[in-house]
Amino acid sequence: MIGITGATGQLGKLVVEHLISKVGKDNIVALVRTPQKAVELGVTTREFNYDKQEEMVKQLKGIDRLLLISANEIGQRVRQHRNVINAAKKAEIKWLVYTSLLHAEITTINLAGEHIETEKLLKASGIDYTILRNGWYTENYTSSIEGALAGGAYIGSAGSGKIASAARTDYAEAAAVVLSDDSYKGKVFELAGDNAYTLSDLAVEISKQTGKYIPYRNLLETEYSKILENLNIPKDLSAAIASWDISASKGDLFDDSKQLSSLIGRPTTSLDESVKLALR
Ligand SMILES: NC(=O)c1ccc[n+]([C@@H]2O[C@H](COP(=O)([O-])OP(=O)(O)OC[C@H]3O[C@@H](n4cnc5c(N)ncnc54)[C@H](OP(=O)(O)O)[C@@H]3O)[C@@H](O)[C@H]2O)c1
């Protein structure tokens, strides 16, 4: 039996979909914090909250493979992931797959610390593990297309940094492939898109598909952060988003190892396809 945490999230839902087609719905348990959000998943669901360790031990009964999708509360994640790993140990989980961050050991992206700590906890746990170091979702950028069209420019601070992002569905399929084949035990994957692009390339693609000229405007980190704040994004998150673009400008979102397309057996979703989907 395979357990998927965060199954009500954007990535988790797609993992469940891909996994159903591989192992059938009867072999999957969605472990979710908010059961009312899980009714459409089409698999058994159990309530599962990273903050409730003892309850998690019970909810893991009968599960031998577990996908821990990293939590989304920045700053709380080491504690929460530790809770899950401890619960998995007590529940005698045989194999734990964790979604980490691309090049976690060397990236300047400020999210890396929590992922590295989690990887260390996992390695020390004695449980067999696989680490999926996911790169950026293309959706992180295509979700700003609407704003770019309204504002007449695509803005950011990534300069000419090359971004090898992939669609969520690509990472989700990779997780499903790994979870259904235990020969992937013990491996650490660096997962990213096949074709890297700059934010200028993205702006060109948006212009091409919409017939509206949308230039890329590169901003100072502080300027970009301020604009995000003015769009009602909380101050800390605005600063973090701008800092991630600075990391992108240094090449931290680039990878050309093609491990993702090799795992899923097809090219990753192209930039033009992702833009097309976002404009639908
Ligand atoms: N690679 C990237 O570009 C990128 C971008 C953003 C995030 N991420 C990371 O990748 C993860 C998955 O991405 P996503 O887009 O699917 O994020 P998401 O849509 O925000 O989903 C996060 C999932 O985690 C669950 N969760 C959060 N706190 C929990 C807790 N205390 N106990 C149990 N479940 C909890 C949420 O449950 P509810 O449905 O109950 O809220 C949700 O199902 C994120 O959580 C984050 O760590 C990566």
- Tokens encoding 194: 């096949």
Q: How far is the CA of 211 from the centre of ligand 1 (A)?
A: 35
pTM of the model: 0.98
Return the DSSP state at 24. -
Q: What type of residue is 35?
A: P
Pocket test for ligand 1, best of 16, 33, 85 (most atoms within 8 A of CB): 33
Mean pLDDT taken over the chain: 97
Q: Cα dist. 91→48, 50, 61, 183 in Å?
A: 14, 15, 6, 22
| Distance of alpha carbon 137 from the chain centroid | 6
What percent of the chain is modeled with pLDDT above 70?
Answer: 100
Q: Any idea where the domains of the chain sit in the sequence?
A: 2-134, 136-165+191-255+269-280
Residues 181, 58: Cα–Cα separation, whole Å: 25
Instruction: Take atom 46 of ligand 1 and give the residue whose Cα is closest.
Output: 72
| Region label for 32, one of left (φ > 0), alpha (ψ between -120 and 50) or beta (otherwise) | beta
Mean pLDDT of all residues in 53-75: 96
Query: What per-residue confidence (pLDDT) applies to 16?
Result: 98
222 vs 39, higher pLDDT:
222
Architecture of domain 2-134: 3-Layer(aba) Sandwich (3.40)
Q: Distance from the CA of 105 to the center of ligand 1, in angstroms?
A: 21
Q: Give per-residue pLDDT as tens, 116-156.
A: 999 999 999 999 999 999 999 999 999 999 999 999 999 99
Widest Cα–Cα separation across the chain: 57
State the closest ligand 1 atom to the C-alpha of 49, by its place in the atom list counted from 1: 32
- Residue of 34, 48, 50, 72 best suited for mutating to test ligand 1, as the one with most atoms within 8 Å of CB: 72
Domain 136-165+191-255+269-280 in CATH 3.90.25.10? yes
The rounded Å distance from CA 155 to ligand 1 centre is 25
Residues with CB under 6 A from ligand 1: 5-6, 8-12, 33-34, 37, 48-51, 69-73, 80, 99, 134, 136-137, 140
Q: How far is Cα 228 from Cα 8, in angstroms, rounded to an integer?
A: 27
